[in-house]
Amino acid sequence: MSTVKSARTDKAGTRLTIPIAALAFVIALAVQFVGQAKIDLGIGAIIIFPMVWGLILGLLVSIQKFKPLGIDLQRVAAALVGVAVLLLVARLAFNIGPSLPTLLKAGPALLLQEVGHLLGTIVLALPLAVLLRMGKATVGATFSLDREPSFAMVSEKYGPDSDQYRGVLAMYVFGTLFGAVFITLLTSLVANWKIFDPLALAMGAGVGSGSMMAASVASITAAYPGDQDAILGMAAVSNLITTVLGVYVGIYVSLPLADKFYRVLTRKQKNRQVVAAGAGAGSAPASAADAEREAAQAEENRRFRERVAESSAAIKLPLWLSLSVLTVLGIGTASIAAKGFSLTIVLGYMVLLALVLVGIALAKVTRKISAIVFVTTIGAYISSPWFFGAEALNAAVKTVDFLSIATVMLTLAGLSLGKDIPLLKNIGWKIIPVGLVAITASFLLSTVIAEFALGLWH
């Protein structure tokens, strides 16, 4: 075992990057060429997009045993996903600028609907987790959709070996493996009911995860193709607000509220346990047994945390290499989406690359603000009517289909998931219904609030 761990690297170059890039290139171009499939379910229709095919095929490649995909190759794929998210955000930023009048008309609805994202999981998923007797892990699993920022919040409050932290890790693993696929099916079904304003659906799509937002928006734009620009712009802004506010609301509102709600719902259960403990003889042996169980659970939580940390350990790639690989993949998929190669697509990618580089540079200088914030803000400005070169920039970038970038991103994500599959046996079956309800609650509650808020504001 020690030799395997010592062989793992924290940096990668072309030797590890080129093979995974070649695999992603073949898969992404193949699924982009196949296109989307529509399935009628009677109560509505769902659309399976190339990015979902790419995610599934990538996953199958990463778990097959014929020629196993090495763990370091999967970590390289995960590192490329992180940079691909910036490219996707840059592309979406060019839908914010031209849609600013529409965004302003949305008024307070854009902020009010965030209540659904930030508290929806507590309202529905937490009671279900209590019903399923998930224990204290309920708090960590349901106070948010549990992406990376949630780790620090729960670890600081409860400790890294706590049941609450185990809940965060379980939801993180679930969202990583199933989030994008499930929310694609969910939003495709809901959008095709045609009962919600497309802008309300777009706000609901901003759940705080780049991959889930991209997957969700694809379904909405397919149902409302005439409103694509406004939908993309609204979803990007909503996702940014959820990401930025999520940290502060999580610390000061969501986490304390989830803890309080959990205590209220389990109060009778705790009272019964206290009565039973008082009625039984030999309280000292009982308390010693409880302490032993808690110690054993803490040790199991520690081992689970270490497995997740090992699976998600970052690997560093040279920025020039990451961007070069993603540009080649992106131009290939964008050309298939556009049904032909053009130099305008290349020019569009050059604009996106420049924007990403500026955003990364500013993030390094400030050390306080994420590159995503800079990329979104600058991209929205230079694509708005207030910037002198907006028309030329928009014309170039619009030739790059945002779904083609999402296809590349989710294909790479699929190729990185094989290392996470063994974690399924550690998270237990209960996180599956809780995770599905959490994602559904976040999207639907936010959409319903946005629908009513838009009606009142307009």
pLDDT digits (tens, 9 = 90+) for 71-119: 889 999 999 998 999 999 999 999 998 888 777 777 778 888 888 887 8
Question: pLDDT at position 271, please?
Answer: 59
Q: Which residues pair with 297 in a beta bridge?
A: none
**Is the pLDDT score of 281 beyond 50?**
no
* pTM for the structure as a whole: 0.82
Q: Is the pLDDT of residue 164 over 80?
A: yes
Stretch 172-183: mean pLDDT, rounded? 87
High-pLDDT (> 90) share of the chain, %: 48
Judged by average pLDDT, the poorest of 28-37, 164-173, 322-331 is: 164-173
Higher-pLDDT residue of 340, 422: 340
Q: How confident is the model at residue 300 (pLDDT cuts 50, 70, 90)?
A: confident
- The residue that leads in pLDDT, 449 or 291, is 449
Instruction: Tell which residue, 245, 190, 202, has the closest CA to residue 47.
Output: 190
What pLDDT score does 360 carry? Answer: 95
Residue range 58-67: mean pLDDT, rounded: 91
* Least confident window among 210-219, 325-334, 375-384: 210-219
| Angle between helix 343-366 and 71-96 (nearest 10) | 100
pLDDT exceeds 60 at position 6? no
In a 13 Å sphere around the CA of 9, the CA atoms on its Cβ side amount to 13
- List, for residues 308-363, the tens digit of each pLDDT value: 777 777 788 999 999 999 999 999 999 999 999 999 999 999 999 999 999 999 99
Residue 3 has pLDDT above 60, yes or no: no
3-state per-residue secondary structure call for the chain:
CHHHHHHCCCECCHHHHHHHHHHHHHHHHHHHHHCCEEEECCCCEEEECHHHHHHHHHHHHHHCCCCCCCHHHHHHHHHHHHHHHHHHHHHHHHHHCCCHHHHHHHCCHHHHCHHHHHHHHHHHHHHHHHHCCCCCHHHHHHCCCCCCHHHHHHHHHHCCCCHHHHHHHHHHHHHHHHHHHHHHHHHHHHHCCCCCCHHHHHHHHCCCCHHHHHHHHHHHHHHCHHHHHHHHHHHHHHHHHHHHHHHHHHHHHHHHHHHHHHHHHCHHHHHHHHHHHHHCCCHHHHHHHHHHHHHHHHHHHHHHHHHHHHHCCCCECCHHHHHHHHHHHHHHHHHHHCCCCCHHHHHHHHHHHHHHHHHHHHHHHHCCCCHHHHHHHHHHHHCCCCCCCHHHHHHHHCCCCHHHHHHHHHHHHHHCCHHHHHHHHHHCCCHHHHHHHHHHHHHHHHHHHHHHHHHHHC
